[in-house]
Structure 1
């Protein structure tokens, strides 16, 4: 390394001259050292290595004990400080003072009598300042020192520019590879929405070299809430993010936004462990508006997100958004094909099966005229009742099979879906009946309360009743929708303590409705929930 000959010359000086090396080392040798320093800066284009090399080289060339390279951020405020010590050693950190020229020196030092500072520019813009202090010979800085430091700063600007270009190139490559990898994995196999979200955050975390990656959505109340997160610190699902203003700008223009203060995005506790933050719009809803954001954050003191990160994150988010839209379109296509087939089955059931069952019922009823035996008449009544019941169930099934349109499943279909999902782990399925125009237009506000109540009621009946005879009746009559969930189980002595009952009542009261429970030990329980059809 070029520094070793200079260090050796200084060590070989006579004792009386060791304090004045610059008077002995020929100026030409210092120029040669400058040339060697410039060459060394091009050996490793890693930005951190280049910055550290600039600070260390400046100390060696000018003959100072300590140096600091202060990097300025986009707001022209100090964002990073790289220090150099001619004789590195362990130090106990103390208060160095508030003088702006020595703010980069983070350790205790003897009193500093002189400081040399030179600016470093990259592409004509201020990148930072190089500060040197405490000359080895104890003297003041000379014009020659200043010229040497300025020459090194000019060369450093070129080296830093090349390092930044390489870093930008590597950053864009990471983002591009992450986008391609995420797209391939999303399309490779069907996943749940949450699994897809987790996959996206993981890919973005690696691409951006961040410590935290999360996806947040705009909830119904207009607040930004976390859907899933990767990295540290993990942000719980559903936690609010006070990033409304930043997110509004991102949503409005579909761009990425970098912020240096994490308190603009996270709560106080989370923000204490984080530094720079990057927010990007992710995907669109059915109205063409952005409804999710990708939030990335680096740790305290982390490198701010560059322009390459900002532009690449926009492309990444756009690519992921298009992929998610494609997945939605494919799901809609598959669902449409499924509903088309179901519609065909429904027509066959209605035109063939139900008519044959109805004819069979009439034939059995006609047998009443041919017999007077009480036992036979009772059997005829039982069989006729069973056939009528089968016809009603077939009609309910037909209603649930018929499509309603893109993204608008019938309520009967949604009710059956909830019941089957809850009973998936059991060896029986609760019986479901409908009465009245249940598939007419019912406000989404009502459905958002009805379906969770249904799920909670059926879940409680399966878990606690001990009965396989569970029935669900949904009735629409006189502008009211009523849900009855009953079982023939063990019943409760204190039905008011049934899990989730208070929440069911709250949901009913929000819509101006009622919720009641009737439970008789050893005979079963019935939950009745009723609200107006529309609000």
Structure 2
């Protein structure tokens, strides 16, 4: 039976299967009623896992340590010797109770020694498999990030992948805040409610955990709920946790955290090492994805700029030349129906030119996310106009512009601004343009006046000098 047990121990390289087989083999080998194998942490001998076989009915106990090399892996314990005597009373030790013989201990020691070898092999295999999964996960994250995901989706991908690979209950990515803290911006959990509740959680500046992370050092917590370094509201939900800096080239991009629920299995040194390596790879992937995104945006911008130049140099110039020929023909035609038709055609052509110029200005806008504030959108329009004017218009805001210009009024103001800038570009000798958005004026009845004024130093149409001012005022505000 001992030989069969020893030979059977090494038939499976999965650690959990091997440990369960060892317990069952020990019970059968010494004729015990119940057996268990407790796995302990090397650092503090705390019990982490327990494998058992049979029903614990009390009785005499026999136990031996299980060692892997020089490390105590756990304790193999059997209880309740099966025999011909009366049943053992709870607690054991009664007269007539079957007891374990010295040779039973010899068998257990022999089995434990062989088990240590098999456990060592199974752990080596398990670590290799675990490392392979982390490597494959890091490669999958890199591939996903380089396929053009948005920044938010990319961070969520990192959090989700880390949670699955670490066998954690949640995963989250924190980014630095303007005041020197960190805030969770992406989270993943088996329960979506937990993930949503984590987003927005902030680590305030000065936290001990934050100081360690900002120094580029990972933080490993045995129990997030009780660790004095943790100050966030969500810490009560979690126990073992890893907080890993996402850094590249000495620059801290953010933090990756993968917590387990309270009472969960603690992270091993191998877990910590592999997760730290994954965080480094994920940080590099985020940097590469951001660089690729910037290159793509630049390529789009260059295409838009080229199209705008072609429209200006070819289409607008030809339309303008055609308008001049029509205007010359109208003058020669004198008064009459033909001249009137030519005049209307000239006006339509002039409007078309202005619309094309407005489209050119829009193409000159950077292909980035549109600003949400009115100030940002006005500045974006003037920045786009700078590409064709050859200089940047000056911009001034007066009064509470943001609160005084509601939708859809802001859209009409921006449309008027685009038209005024296009008209300024069409004039000769324009070397300066000033834009003013004024929300300080009042009507006689007390209502706020929103006024847009665009001034330039170009030549006047009637040849009477230079300088032109375009004023737009909200008609119903």
Kept in 1: contact 2:172–2:258 (CA 8 A): yes
Distance across 2 between alignment mates of 1:49 and 1:349: 72
Distance 1:67 1:245, change over 3 A: farther
1:165 pairs with 100, 110, 124, which one? 124
Distance 1:248 1:383, change over 3 A: farther
Distance 1:379 1:220, change over 3 A: farther
Q: Which residue of 2 aligns with 1:327?
A: 289
Tell me whether 237-246 or 335-344 shows the greater mean CA deviation.
237-246
Distance across 2 between alignment mates of 1:402 and 1:468: 18
Kept in 2: contact 1:66–1:132 (CA 8 A): yes
Q: Which residue of 2 aligns with 1:130?
A: 76
Distance 1:434 1:291, change over 3 A: closer
Distance across 1 between alignment mates of 2:405 and 2:116: 69
2:271 pairs with 305, 309, 315, which one? 309
Distance across 2 between alignment mates of 1:249 and 1:275: 19
Distance across 2 between alignment mates of 1:242 and 1:119: 44
Tell me whether 119-128 or 236-245 shows the greater mean CA deviation.
236-245
User: Matched residue of 2:278: which SS?
Assistant: helix
Tell me the TM-score normalised to structure 2 length: 0.62
Kept in 1: contact 2:362–2:384 (CA 8 A): no
Distance across 2 between alignment mates of 1:434 and 1:224: 33
Distance 1:275 1:468, change over 3 A: closer
Please list every run of 5 or more consecutive structure 1 residues that lacks an aligned counterpart in the other structure.
Answer: 1-32, 89-108, 404-408, 420-429, 485-494, 497-517, 527-535
Deviations 1:495-526 (A, max 9, x none): 99xxxxxxxxxxxxxxxxxxxxx99xxx85x5
1:239 equivalenced with 2:194 (yes/no): no
User: Matched residue of 2:195: which SS?
Assistant: coil
2:258 pairs with 296, 301, 310, which one? 296
- List aligned pairs for 1:409-448, cutoff 5 A: 409=366, 417=370, 434=381
Q: Which residue of 2 aligns with 1:259?
A: 221
Tell me the TM-score normalised to structure 1 length: 0.57
Q: Which residue of 2 aligns with 1:43?
A: 11
Following superposition, the deviation at residue 171 of structure 1 comes to 0.8
Distance 1:432 1:470, change over 3 A: farther
Q: Which residue of 1 aligns with 2:154?
A: 196
Distance across 1 between alignment mates of 2:346 and 2:363: 27
1:118 pairs with 64, 73, 81, which one? 64
Distance across 2 between alignment mates of 1:325 and 1:302: 33
RMSD: 5.3
User: Matched residue of 2:12: which SS?
Assistant: coil
Following superposition, the deviation at residue 310 of structure 1 comes to 3.1
Following superposition, the deviation at residue 48 of structure 1 comes to 2.0
User: Matched residue of 1:262: which SS?
Assistant: coil
Distance 1:173 1:483, change over 3 A: farther
Kept in 2: contact 1:438–1:474 (CA 8 A): no
Kept in 1: contact 2:244–2:257 (CA 8 A): yes
1:277 equivalenced with 2:273 (yes/no): no
- List aligned pairs for 1:202-241, cutoff 5 A: 202-221=160-179, 222-232=181-191, 234-236=194-196, 238-240=199-201
Distance 1:387 1:123, change over 3 A: farther
Please list every run of 5 or more consecutive structure 2 residues that lacks an aligned counterpart in the other structure.
Answer: 83-87, 94-98, 387-391, 422-431, 440-446, 449-472
Distance across 2 between alignment mates of 1:74 and 1:479: 73
Distance across 1 between alignment mates of 2:438 and 2:188: 37
Task: Name the count of aligned residue pairs.
Answer: 400
Deviations 1:407-458 (A, max 9, x none): xx4xxx668x459xxxxxxxxxx9999569987699xxx9xx99xx69x978
